[in-house]
Amino acid sequence: MKILLPYLALYRRHWVRMALGVVLAIITLLASIGLLSLSGWFLAASALAGLAGLYSFNYMLPAAGVRGAAIFRTAGRYAERLASHDATFRVLAHLRVFTFSRLLPLSPGGLAGFQKAELLNRLVADVDTLDHLYLRVISPLTAALVVIVGVTLGLSYLDLQLALTLGGIMLALLVLLPIIFYRAGQPIGRDLTQLRAEYRTQLGGWLQSQSELVIYGVESPRRQQLDDIERRWLNRQAQQAKLSALSQALMIAASGLTLCLLLWLAAGGVGSLPEPGALLALFVFTPLAAFEALGPVAGAFQHFGQVMASAERVTQIVSQRPAVVFPVTGASVLPETSISIQGVSFAYPNQPLPVLEDISLDIRAGEHVALLGKTGCGKSTLAQLLTRAWDPQEGRILLNGVSLREYQESNLRSMVSVLSQRVHVFNNTLRDNLLLAAPASHDERLAEVLRQVELGNLLDNDGLNAWLGEGGRQLSGGEQRRLGLARALLHDAPLWILDEPTEGLDAATERHILALLETLGRNKTLLMITHRLAGLDKMDRICKMSAGRIEGHL
């Protein structure tokens, strides 16, 4: 239960709405009990009064009570659903923001051990499951407890023994059923959570790799793996459904047995009356309606295992410490930037061999340096260290003579423009994909930069409002690369780190882009990581890198 405490603490922000939902649930249940109990007594009393009761029996007051209870139940049920779901959605939104805010500082180091589909499943499905804590557990349990106390106190005015009997039975069920069904449903809930995550992860990989699976004729074996997981998932769902049916059967049986017991006890008289009369109907219909409050409780706790498993999975991520921590205050931003890499060595977590070994490199402000080397020699890793995606295990990196560790994240990001090897295109408009780098830019500036990187054709038809789709599917690899370059130009930082800026471009476009970089980057410090020889004659210096070391300067 301790694992739920951090999430319960988040609920305090919405306690007013949550309390309102519980109060409305209590009112609705009491109105439902009052409606059925009063209706039963009214019909029995009217039958006993007969025609003679036209002058001696008050038909109007009970009828008004029945109508009032019906109105309260209908209105209360609607208001309760409105309030409780509003509270649930607000809690869910808060949980998602809380979880996502804890995920962001972990990237990429703390998230390296998780698949993307697994992270998405934990952020969405597991966080969604946590909202059951209020809607299915806290609210029904609180409402049932208040209803039991209310019904017991109300009936005690008529007969204390019968009231305590009914209250005692309901209270015992309220205590025992959650424990029993939590124990029975816990392993099922854990398996369901795990199988759901495993199935979605495998399905995502299967869909993404469809082309390769079909080409090499191994689609059927991979599909069989999915079918096996799905079969186990469905079996567990069937077991949970049977457990739900068992809980409802027990509630029906308990309700019927309690009704028989109260009927037998009330047959000898109610309170000071030797004959129960119409009050017998009251004590018969009250437990029928009161057990409605207990119905959701047993079913809720059989899902509690899923809530606990989801809480553990989310906590496993958000409890991690970020690999890189930025200071609250730090060094100031300067219009020019120099780089000093001093004896830097780095190895990725759980990897036996280092990627970088004793790297040292100094780049003066305004200098253009090319870092040349084969694929896998550590060039891109060095670029990640320069932006503090990771911190080196040995050595240090200085910007303007100040350690990277002393810069605030916002200041560091404003000093560096980066073009990475993989350019992500968001499922949004062309304008929004560019404004990511410079939110204050106007449309004329965006269009100008697009033309500079030879993407003016994207301005045809819908212009900047053109929808690029998921992952920019309508763009070629070269166009995506140039879109990333446009972002780097818009950011206009004093330091440019360009990782394979001309990869995927034809020779003519490559020459144009290199000339553009030379023109626009004259007053910039530029580090171009490449394995291509084109344009290197324009660089101030060329450094050759191999096997994690800088072997020399050209």
Report the distance separating Cα 313 and Cα 310, nearest Å.
Answer: 5
Confidence check: pLDDT of 54 > 60: no
- Burial tier of 276 (Cβ tally within 10 Å: 0-12, 13-18, 19+): buried
Please name the residues in contact with 328: beta carbons below 8 A apart, sequence gap of 6 or more.
Answer: 408
Phi, psi (deg, nearest 5) at residue 20: -60, -40
| pLDDT, tens only, 480-529 | 888 888 888 888 888 888 888 877 777 887 787 788 777 777 888 888 88
The residue among 179 and 55 whose pLDDT is bigger is 179
Strands 541-546 and 356-363: unpaired
> To which residue do tokens 């019904």 refer?
151
Phi, psi (deg, nearest 5) at residue 166: -65, -45
Would you state the torsion angle of the CA atoms of residues 173, 176, 179, 184, taken in this order, to the nearest 10 degrees? -80
Range in 48-52, 203-207, 357-361 with the lowest mean pLDDT: 48-52
| pLDDT, tens only, 18-35 | 889 889 989 998 888 888
Phi, psi (deg, nearest 5) at residue 418: -125, 135
Residue 273's pLDDT is 57
Alpha helices of 399-522 — where are they, by DSSP H?
409-415, 430-435, 443-452, 477-491, 507-520
Report the distance separating Cα 240 and Cα 334, nearest Å.
Answer: 62
Q: Which residues pair with 528 in a beta bridge?
A: 370, 498
Phi, psi (deg, nearest 5) at residue 546: -155, 135
Report the distance separating Cα 197 and Cα 323, nearest Å.
Answer: 26
> To which residue do tokens 């008004």 refer?
64
For the chain, domains (ranges, CATH) are: 2-318 (1.20.1560.10), 339-553 (3.40.50.300)
Contact 437, 488 (CB under 8 A): yes
3-state secondary structure of 164: helix
Distance from chain centroid for Cα 300: 22
3-state secondary structure 391-408: CCCEEEEEECCEEHHHCC
Contact 362, 540 (CB under 8 A): no
Confidence check: pLDDT of 554 > 70: no
Residue 78's pLDDT is 92
Confidence check: pLDDT of 55 > 70: no
Report the distance separating Cα 277 and Cα 275, nearest Å.
Answer: 6
Give the Å distances, CA to CA, from 239 to 6, 128, 129: 31, 22, 19
Report the distance separating Cα 463 and Cα 432, nearest Å.
Answer: 12
Question: E strand or H helix at 346, and its extent?
Answer: strand 339-346
| pLDDT, tens only, 242-292 | 888 888 888 889 888 988 888 888 877 766 556 667 777 787 888 888 888
